[in-house]
Amino acid sequence: MNINQANIYPVSQARNLFTKLVDDVKKAKAFFVTKKGKVKAALVDIDYLQKMQKDLSILYKKTFIDKNLLPYTREFSDEEIKEWQDEDKL
């Protein structure tokens, strides 16, 4: 799915075209709605959404992180990552 000019609509235009967008979303997979020039929402084909959810579920099962451990994880700083990369070069 690509975000391109053909599937981006300002909220005012999307409001006027809502029925058409709902009819066309199957083919386009998604339409994006902007407000003040920034994407704020998406209208997504339900079959495409369910496929993405299924694919993510399968992908999640392939990770080595136990979902019960997620509360104990954290993001590492760029400094920590650089330090590990430097250690790996040794």
Region of residue 34 (phi > 0: left; psi between -120 and 50: alpha; otherwise: beta):
beta
Both structure tokens of 71: 């509360």
33: number of Cβ within 10 Å:
19
Domain with residue 75: its CATH number is 3.40.1620.10
* DSSP assignment letter at 29: S
- How many domains is the chain partitioned into structurally? 1
Average pLDDT over the chain, rounded to whole? 88
pLDDT tens sequence across 16-59: 999 999 999 999 999 999 999 999 999 999 999 999 999 988 87
pLDDT at 67: 76
Q: What is the pTM of this model?
A: 0.61
d(CA 17, CA 25): 12
> What domain range is 62 assigned to?
5-89
